[in-house]
Amino acid sequence: MLQGRLNALSKKQNLSTLLVKKLSVDRTNKLVPFRAFAQFTRSNSPRDHSKRPQRDNSGINNQLTKAQSLQQLMAVHEQNRHSFNIVNTTTFFNRLGKLYSPKTELKELDDMAIHDLLAHTAKIIQRFNICGLSTIAHGLAKIQRTEDAGFFNAVVERVLAPNSLENTPSICISNLVWSAEKLGCRNRAFYTKIAKHMRDVLKNGEQIDEYSSLALSNISMSFAKANMSDKHCNVYDTIERMILKKDLISFEPQHISNILWAFSSARRLKSPIYSIIETFVETTTLEQYNPIHLASMVSSYAKQADDQPTKYIQFFNTLEKHLAQANLEPFTADILVHLLRGITKANQRETPGTLLLLNEIDRRGIMKFRNQNLVILAWSLAHAKMPYPANELYIKLEKIIVSRGLASFRPTELSALALNFHKAGATLESSPYFKLLLVHLQKSGVKKLDNEGLSNVLWTFLQNYNVELESLFTLVLDEVSSRDANNFTPSAIANFTIGFASSNKELPPNLKEHISSQMEMLVSKSKVSDLVQLLWGLTVLDQTSLVPKHVLPELWTKVSRSTLTDAEYFNLYRFGIEIDDVLVPEVVTEKSKWYIENEANDDLMKSLQNEVITTLGELSLNGSKNVQLDGGYTIGVLFLPSNEKPVAIQLNNMSVNSVLESRYLKKHGYDVAQLDPATWSASIDKKSTLKNHLPKYLQ
C-alpha cells in the first residue's frame, strides 16, 4: 500500500513537471512572456499571489491603446511590465510616439523603465518581425530618443540577415528607413540592403502599388538626409521608375514637395522628376499646396538650377500666376523670404513674382523679422542684382541690423550679411554695417566664425582692401593656420590662398600640405572661378610647385570647356608660364594677348592718361597698357624703363586685385609706384619718356 502511494505521488510529480515544461515551450513558441517560468514549479515556500504575473496580454494591450496621456501610458507599463509580450512592447512604443510632443516634460517619462524595456527587446530581437521592429523604432524616433540601449544596432543586424526583408510591407520599410535616419543610423550596409530590396520589388513587379506617395516620400527624404545617395546604395533610380508607373493625381501635395526636396538635395539634378512635376502642376493647380510646401518646391527647383538660369521656366510662370491671384496673408515672413530666395536663386530676377514678393515684404515691414530672415532677405536682394543702396530695403535692413547690435546675430549670420552686402556693391566707406562689423571683429576676434564664415569675412574685406585692415587679415589668417585644412571647402581654400598672397604672408603648413595632397580633388570639384583664383594665388606666392604635373591635363581640359573672363585667362596664362607648361591651351594664350593689347582703349584709361599727362608734364604715355580686372576694377599698369630696372605705375584703387598685381610685379623685379586716384600724382623722381615695356612673361 505504501509503495502504491509512492508510485502515485511520483506519477503526479512527473505530470506536474511535464506540464510546466509544456507551458514553457508553448509560451516560448508564442513569443509571449518576458519572465522565466521556473517560478511556477512547486516550492515549499508559501505562494504570494499578489506578485503573480498578469497573463491577460490582450487586456494589457487594450489598456495601452486607450491611454490618452503619457502618465496613463507609463502607469499601465509600471503595473504590467513583468507580463509584457512582444505585442504589448510594440503597442507601448507606438502609443509613446503618438502621445509624445516636444513640450513634454522629461519627468513624465520613466527613463530607466524605457531603457530596460529597450535592452530586453534587443536581447530577444529575433522574436520580433520587421514590422514590429519598425513600429518600435518609429516610436523612438518620434520621442527623439537616440540612447536606446543597443536596440537599433540589433535592428540593423537583423535587417542585414539573409532574406530578412522578404514580403515586408512598404509601410514597414518606410517607417524603418525614416526612423533609422532620425535615430542617427549611418550604416551604409543597412541603406544598401534597403535599396536592393526596393530594386527587387521593382524587378519582380510585386508590391509596387503598395508603395504609396507617403512611403516614397519618407524613403527618398531619409536617404538624402543620411547622405546615402551614392552609387553603392542609390535608391533614386528605383523611386524614379516607381513614380513613372504611377499617376501623380494620387499623390498628396506634401509628398510631391518632399520628393522634389529629396531629389534636389541628393543632387539628382538631371532626373525627369522635375519635368514630370512641372507638367503636373501646370495642368492642375498650385492651390492645393500650402505655403510651406510651395516654398519647398521653389527651393528644390532653385537647387536644380545649380546657380544657372533654370530651364524649368514653365514652373516659375505657373508660380507667378498663382502668387498674383493668391491671398498672401497666410504667408508668414519665413515663407515670403524663402520664396524670394528660391526665385532669385533660379536666376528669375526682376520678374513680376520677385517684385510682388518684395512689395509684400516692404508693405508688412521687416522690423519684426527674425535675424535669419534678415540674412535671407539680404541674400535675395544681392542675387536679384539690386544695387546697394538703390533699393530702400537695403537702408531699412541696415538700420535694423545696426539697432539690434551685432552681438545679437550668430557669427555665421554676420559673415553671410557681409558677403551679400558686398555682392550688392556696398563698401567699407558706404556701408554702416561694414564699419560696425570691422570694429566688432577686431574687438571680439574671429574664433567663433566657422570655416565658411572665415572665408566670407576674409573675401569681403579683401574686396575693400585697405592698410587699416591688415590687423583683421592677420587675425583671420592666424586662425586659418590653426585649423584642419581638410575641413575647408574648395572655395575657402581659394579664398585663404588669395588672403595669404595679398598679405604677403607665406602659406602655413596645413594649407600647403592640403593643397599638395588634394590638388587632384580640387581640380575635379572646384568651380573654375575658384580654381583660377587658387592658381593665381599660388603664382603670386611662388608656390606653383604644389601643383603636381599629373593634374595639368585635367586642369587644362576643364579650362578649355569653360567660359572665363579675360582677366582669368590672363592669370591662368601667367600660372602656365611659371610652371613652364607647354600644354597651356591656345585659347588661354590668345585671350591673354588680346587682353593686354586691347584694354588700353578703355575710356577710363584715356581719362587717367589725360590726368597723368597734366600732372607729370612732358611725360608721354604712348603705348601704355591697362589691365581691366574682373569685377570692374581698373589698374593702370604703366611701365617706365630705367637704368636699373623698370617701374610700374599702378592706379591705387584699394582692391585686392591691385595688391596681387603689385606683389606679382615686384616678384618679377619691378618697382611699383602707386598712383593716388585722389590727386593723380605719382612718386617718380626721374622724368623721362614713358613707353610700353611689356614684362618678360608677355614678350
Same domain as 539, residue 567: yes
Sequential DSSP letters for 334-370 = HHHHHHHHHHHHTT-TT-HHHHHHHHHHHHH-STT--
Residue-wise pLDDT for 392-445, tens only, equals 899 999 999 999 999 999 999 999 999 999 999 998 889 999 999 999 999 999
**So what's the pLDDT on residue 504?**
83
Region 334-347: what's the mean pLDDT? 92
Cis status, amide bond into 53, omega within 30 of 0: no
The residue ranking higher by pLDDT, 693 or 60, is 60
Look at residue 600 in the predicted model and tell me its pLDDT.
38
640 forms beta bridges with 647
Do 464 and 580 lie in one domain? The reply is yes
Q: Where are the beta strands (DSSP E) in 641-685?
A: 647-651, 671-675
Within this chain, do residues 503 and 584 fall inside the same structural domain, yes or no?
Answer: yes
Q: Name the residue among 210, 200, 145 with its Cα closest to residue 174.
A: 210
In a domain, 78, yes or no: yes
Q: How many structural domains are present in the chain?
A: 4
Q: What is the pLDDT of residues 261-278, one digit of tens each?
A: 999 999 999 999 999 999
Which residue has better confidence, 648 or 628?
648
- Mean pLDDT over residues 60-85, rounded? 88
Same domain, 85 and 155: yes
What are residue 601's phi and psi, to 5 degrees? -85, 5
Whole-prediction pTM: 0.73
- Distance between CA 119 and CA 203 in Å, rounded? 38
Reported as a single tens digit per residue, the pLDDT across 436-478 is: 999 999 999 999 999 999 999 999 998 887 777 889 999 999 9
What is the pLDDT confidence band of residue 617, given thresholds at 50, 70 and 90? very low
Tell me the mean pLDDT in the region 662-685.
Answer: 54
613 pLDDT tier (thresholds 50, 70, 90) = very low
pLDDT confidence of 655, banded at 50, 70, 90?
low
| Residue 688 pLDDT exceeds 50 | no
Q: Give me the pLDDT at residue 70, please.
A: 85
In a domain, 306, yes or no: no
Confidence of residue 592 (pLDDT cuts 50, 70, 90): confident
Amino acid in position 413: E
pLDDT tens sequence across 98-131: 988 777 655 556 778 888 899 999 999 999 999 9
* Of the residues 246, 277, 306, the one at which a domain ends: 246
Q: Are residues 580 and 662 in the same domain?
A: no
Which one of 597, 621, 651 terminates a domain?
A: 597
pLDDT of residue 33: 33
Per-residue pLDDT tens digits for 155-176 = 999 999 999 998 899 999 999 9
pLDDT band of residue 192 (cuts 50, 70, 90) is very high
Q: Can you name the residues that pair with 649 across neighbouring β-strands?
A: 638, 673
229 assigned to some structural domain: yes
Report whether 480 contacts 508 (CB < 8 A). Answer: yes
94 occurs within a structural domain: yes
Co-location of 499 and 634 in the same domain? no
Indicate whether 132 and 203 sit together in one domain: yes
**Residues 193 and 72 occupy one common structural domain:** yes
Percent of the chain with pLDDT over 70: 77
Tell whether 192 is covered by a domain: yes
At residue 466, the pLDDT reads 75
pLDDT digits (tens, 9 = 90+) for 37-54: 333 333 334 434 344 454
Q: What is the mean pLDDT of residues 561-582?
A: 87
* pLDDT tens-place string over residues 137-158: 999 999 888 888 899 999 999 9
Asked whether 695 and 639 are in contact (CB, 8 A), the reply is yes
For residue 55, name the pLDDT band (cuts at 50, 70, 90): low
Residues 478 and 617 in one domain: no
Instruction: Quote the domain boundaries for residue 686.
Output: 602-698
pLDDT tens for 255-314 read: 999 999 999 999 999 999 999 999 999 998 898 999 999 999 999 999 998 878 899 999
If pLDDT is split at 50, 70 and 90, which confidence band does 380 have? very high
Q: Is residue 17 part of a domain?
A: yes
What does each C-alpha distance from 49 to 52, 54, 225, 365 come to in angstroms? 5, 10, 52, 71
- Give 28 or 661, the one with higher predicted confidence: 661
Domain final residue, candidates 552, 571, 597: 597
Same domain, 166 and 213: yes
Give 637's strand partners: 625, 650
Residue 241 lies in a domain: yes
Specify whether 612 is located in the same domain as 649. yes
Angle at 139 between CA 136 and CA 141, to 5 degrees: 110
Angle separating helix axes 509-525 and 552-560, nearest 10 degrees: 50
Task: Verify that 174 and 60 share a domain, yes or no.
Answer: yes
In a domain, 405, yes or no: no
DSSP one-letter string for 563-618: ---HHHHHHHHHHHHHTT-TT--HHHHHHHHHHHHHGGG-HHHHHHHHHHHHHHTT
